[in-house]
Amino acid sequence: MTFINYVAREINCKIVYYGPGLGGKTTNLQYIYEITNPENKGKMISLATETDRTLFFDFLPIDLGKVKGFGTRFHLYTVPGQVFYDASRKLILRGVDGVVFVADSQEERMDANRESLANLSDNLKEHGFDLLKIPYALQLNKRDLPSALPAEEMKSALLVKGEPVFEAVATRGIGVLETLKAVARQVLVELRKSA
Protein backbone atom coordinates (compact mmCIF):
# COMPACT_ATOMS: atom_id res chain seq x y z
CA MET A 1 0.00 0.00 0.00
CA THR A 2 1.64 3.19 -1.13
CA PHE A 3 2.02 5.63 1.72
CA ILE A 4 2.45 9.30 0.91
CA ASN A 5 3.91 11.45 3.65
CA TYR A 6 3.05 15.03 2.67
CA VAL A 7 5.00 16.56 5.53
CA ALA A 8 8.24 14.80 4.68
CA ARG A 9 7.34 15.01 0.95
CA GLU A 10 8.03 11.32 0.61
CA ILE A 11 6.30 8.45 -1.19
CA ASN A 12 6.75 5.01 0.38
CA CYS A 13 6.25 1.87 -1.70
CA LYS A 14 6.70 -1.82 -1.01
CA ILE A 15 8.29 -4.22 -3.48
CA VAL A 16 8.49 -7.94 -2.74
CA TYR A 17 10.98 -10.34 -4.31
CA TYR A 18 9.29 -13.71 -4.65
CA GLY A 19 10.44 -17.06 -6.05
CA PRO A 20 11.68 -20.56 -5.29
CA GLY A 21 14.26 -21.33 -2.61
CA LEU A 22 17.87 -20.55 -3.55
CA GLY A 23 16.75 -18.69 -6.69
CA GLY A 24 18.72 -15.56 -5.78
CA LYS A 25 16.24 -13.17 -4.13
CA THR A 26 18.50 -12.28 -1.22
CA THR A 27 21.44 -11.93 -3.63
CA ASN A 28 19.45 -9.29 -5.59
CA LEU A 29 18.98 -7.22 -2.44
CA GLN A 30 22.59 -7.65 -1.38
CA TYR A 31 23.77 -6.31 -4.72
CA ILE A 32 21.39 -3.35 -4.57
CA TYR A 33 22.61 -2.63 -1.05
CA GLU A 34 26.28 -2.77 -2.12
CA ILE A 35 25.98 -0.39 -5.03
CA THR A 36 23.61 2.16 -3.45
CA ASN A 37 25.17 5.29 -1.96
CA PRO A 38 24.97 5.43 1.84
CA GLU A 39 22.78 8.55 1.75
CA ASN A 40 20.21 6.71 -0.37
CA LYS A 41 19.78 3.58 1.69
CA GLY A 42 18.86 2.43 5.15
CA LYS A 43 20.07 -0.62 7.00
CA MET A 44 19.58 -3.97 5.33
CA ILE A 45 17.97 -6.39 7.73
CA SER A 46 18.24 -10.13 7.07
CA LEU A 47 16.68 -12.79 9.21
CA ALA A 48 18.46 -15.90 8.03
CA THR A 49 19.25 -19.45 9.11
CA GLU A 50 22.84 -20.53 9.86
CA THR A 51 23.15 -21.62 6.24
CA ASP A 52 22.05 -18.21 4.94
CA ARG A 53 18.61 -19.30 3.84
CA THR A 54 16.04 -16.58 4.41
CA LEU A 55 14.12 -17.48 7.55
CA PHE A 56 11.57 -14.70 7.61
CA PHE A 57 12.55 -11.91 5.23
CA ASP A 58 15.22 -9.47 4.09
CA PHE A 59 14.42 -5.80 4.19
CA LEU A 60 16.17 -2.90 2.49
CA PRO A 61 14.87 0.67 2.20
CA ILE A 62 16.29 2.69 -0.72
CA ASP A 63 15.59 6.04 -2.33
CA LEU A 64 15.03 6.08 -6.07
CA GLY A 65 15.01 9.76 -6.89
CA LYS A 66 12.25 12.35 -6.98
CA VAL A 67 8.80 12.40 -8.57
CA LYS A 68 7.13 15.81 -8.72
CA GLY A 69 9.11 17.08 -5.75
CA PHE A 70 8.45 13.99 -3.66
CA GLY A 71 11.23 11.63 -2.65
CA THR A 72 10.51 8.00 -3.48
CA ARG A 73 11.41 5.51 -0.80
CA PHE A 74 11.15 1.87 -1.86
CA HIS A 75 10.96 -0.80 0.81
CA LEU A 76 12.40 -3.95 -0.72
CA TYR A 77 11.53 -7.28 0.86
CA THR A 78 12.35 -10.88 0.00
CA VAL A 79 10.26 -13.84 1.07
CA PRO A 80 11.71 -17.17 2.22
CA GLY A 81 11.50 -19.45 -0.82
CA GLN A 82 11.47 -22.74 1.05
CA VAL A 83 8.06 -24.35 0.60
CA PHE A 84 7.23 -24.75 4.32
CA TYR A 85 7.49 -21.02 5.11
CA ASP A 86 4.20 -20.19 3.43
CA ALA A 87 2.72 -18.32 6.40
CA SER A 88 5.67 -15.90 6.31
CA ARG A 89 5.34 -15.38 2.58
CA LYS A 90 1.69 -14.51 2.98
CA LEU A 91 2.42 -12.03 5.72
CA ILE A 92 5.19 -10.30 3.76
CA LEU A 93 2.87 -9.72 0.80
CA ARG A 94 0.63 -7.53 2.94
CA GLY A 95 0.36 -4.06 1.44
CA VAL A 96 2.60 -4.91 -1.53
CA ASP A 97 2.83 -2.42 -4.42
CA GLY A 98 4.93 -4.45 -6.84
CA VAL A 99 6.45 -7.92 -7.19
CA VAL A 100 9.66 -9.25 -8.75
CA PHE A 101 9.59 -12.96 -9.46
CA VAL A 102 13.14 -14.34 -9.35
CA ALA A 103 13.12 -17.59 -11.32
CA ASP A 104 16.01 -20.06 -11.18
CA SER A 105 17.13 -20.83 -14.74
CA GLN A 106 18.37 -24.33 -13.97
CA GLU A 107 16.30 -26.96 -15.73
CA GLU A 108 15.91 -28.98 -12.52
CA ARG A 109 14.32 -25.96 -10.81
CA MET A 110 11.53 -25.43 -13.32
CA ASP A 111 8.98 -27.34 -11.23
CA ALA A 112 9.95 -25.22 -8.23
CA ASN A 113 9.56 -22.06 -10.33
CA ARG A 114 6.08 -23.07 -11.44
CA GLU A 115 5.04 -24.05 -7.96
CA SER A 116 6.28 -20.77 -6.50
CA LEU A 117 4.53 -18.74 -9.18
CA ALA A 118 1.22 -20.51 -8.44
CA ASN A 119 1.83 -19.89 -4.73
CA LEU A 120 2.42 -16.19 -5.44
CA SER A 121 -0.85 -15.95 -7.34
CA ASP A 122 -2.76 -17.68 -4.51
CA ASN A 123 -1.20 -15.60 -1.77
CA LEU A 124 -1.82 -12.35 -3.63
CA LYS A 125 -5.47 -13.33 -3.99
CA GLU A 126 -5.76 -13.80 -0.24
CA HIS A 127 -4.80 -10.14 0.13
CA GLY A 128 -7.24 -9.10 -2.60
CA PHE A 129 -4.53 -8.55 -5.24
CA ASP A 130 -4.45 -9.94 -8.76
CA LEU A 131 -1.16 -11.07 -10.28
CA LEU A 132 -2.50 -10.02 -13.66
CA LYS A 133 -2.93 -6.43 -12.48
CA ILE A 134 -0.17 -5.74 -9.98
CA PRO A 135 3.13 -4.11 -11.09
CA TYR A 136 5.32 -7.08 -11.89
CA ALA A 137 8.62 -8.11 -13.48
CA LEU A 138 10.09 -11.54 -14.21
CA GLN A 139 13.78 -12.15 -13.65
CA LEU A 140 15.46 -15.22 -15.14
CA ASN A 141 18.39 -15.58 -12.77
CA LYS A 142 21.49 -17.81 -12.79
CA ARG A 143 21.99 -17.41 -16.53
CA ASP A 144 25.67 -18.25 -15.94
CA LEU A 145 25.01 -21.89 -15.01
CA PRO A 146 25.56 -24.64 -17.61
CA SER A 147 22.14 -26.18 -16.98
CA ALA A 148 20.32 -22.88 -17.62
CA LEU A 149 17.36 -23.42 -19.94
CA PRO A 150 16.96 -21.21 -23.02
CA ALA A 151 15.24 -17.97 -22.03
CA GLU A 152 12.46 -18.52 -24.56
CA GLU A 153 11.59 -21.86 -23.02
CA MET A 154 11.41 -20.30 -19.56
CA LYS A 155 9.27 -17.45 -20.81
CA SER A 156 6.74 -19.78 -22.38
CA ALA A 157 6.41 -21.54 -19.02
CA LEU A 158 6.46 -18.55 -16.68
CA LEU A 159 5.10 -15.45 -18.41
CA VAL A 160 1.77 -14.43 -16.94
CA LYS A 161 1.08 -11.27 -18.95
CA GLY A 162 3.17 -8.89 -20.99
CA GLU A 163 5.54 -8.33 -18.07
CA PRO A 164 9.10 -7.13 -18.60
CA VAL A 165 11.62 -10.02 -18.47
CA PHE A 166 15.28 -9.73 -17.50
CA GLU A 167 18.08 -12.24 -17.78
CA ALA A 168 20.26 -11.97 -14.72
CA VAL A 169 23.33 -13.18 -12.90
CA ALA A 170 22.54 -11.71 -9.50
CA THR A 171 25.90 -12.72 -8.00
CA ARG A 172 27.56 -10.40 -10.52
CA GLY A 173 24.82 -7.78 -10.46
CA ILE A 174 23.86 -8.46 -14.06
CA GLY A 175 20.21 -7.57 -14.69
CA VAL A 176 19.54 -6.66 -11.05
CA LEU A 177 19.02 -2.91 -11.37
CA GLU A 178 17.16 -3.27 -14.66
CA THR A 179 14.67 -5.56 -12.93
CA LEU A 180 14.20 -3.22 -9.98
CA LYS A 181 13.75 -0.18 -12.21
CA ALA A 182 11.16 -1.96 -14.35
CA VAL A 183 8.95 -2.76 -11.39
CA ALA A 184 9.53 0.60 -9.69
CA ARG A 185 8.50 2.39 -12.88
CA GLN A 186 5.21 0.46 -12.96
CA VAL A 187 4.53 1.25 -9.30
CA LEU A 188 4.99 4.96 -9.97
CA VAL A 189 2.69 4.79 -13.00
CA GLU A 190 -0.02 3.22 -10.83
CA LEU A 191 0.55 5.91 -8.24
CA ARG A 192 0.02 8.67 -10.78
CA LYS A 193 -3.22 7.03 -11.88
CA SER A 194 -4.59 6.99 -8.35
CA ALA A 195 -3.31 10.45 -7.42
Ligand X SMILES: Nc1nc2c(ncn2[C@@H]2O[C@H](COP(=O)(O)OP(=O)(O)OP(=O)(O)O)[C@@H](O)[C@H]2O)c(=O)[nH]1
For residue 171, state whether it binds ligand X (rule: CB under 6 A).
yes
Out of 81, 89, 135, 165, name the contact with ligand X by CB under 6 A: 81
Shortest spacing between CB 153 and Mg ion, in angstroms: 25
Site string for ligand X, 135-164 (x = CB under 6 A): ------xx-xx-------------------
For residue 22, state whether it binds ligand X (rule: CB under 6 A).
yes
For residue 75, state whether it binds ligand X (rule: CB under 6 A).
no
For residue 21, state whether it binds ligand X (rule: CB under 6 A).
yes
- Residue 141, contacted partner among ligand X, Mg ion, none, CB below 5-8 A by kind: ligand X
For residue 175, state whether it binds ligand X (rule: CB under 6 A).
no
- Residue 98, contacted partner among ligand X, Mg ion, none, CB below 5-8 A by kind: none
Three-state SS string over the chain comes to CCEEECCCCEEEEEEEEECCCCCCHHHHHHHHHHHCCHHHECCCEEEECCCCCEEEEEEEEEEEEEECCEEEEEEEEECCCCHHHHHHHHHHCCCCCEEEEEEECEHHHHHHHHHHHHHHHHHHHHCCCCCCCCCEEEEEECCCCCCECCHHHHHHHHCCCCCCEEECEHHHCECHHHHHHHHHHHHHHHHHHHC
Give residue number: closest CB to ligand X.
Answer: 81
Q: Which residues of this protein are in contact with ligand X, per CB under 6 A?
A: 19, 21-27, 52-54, 78, 80-82, 141-142, 144-145, 169-171
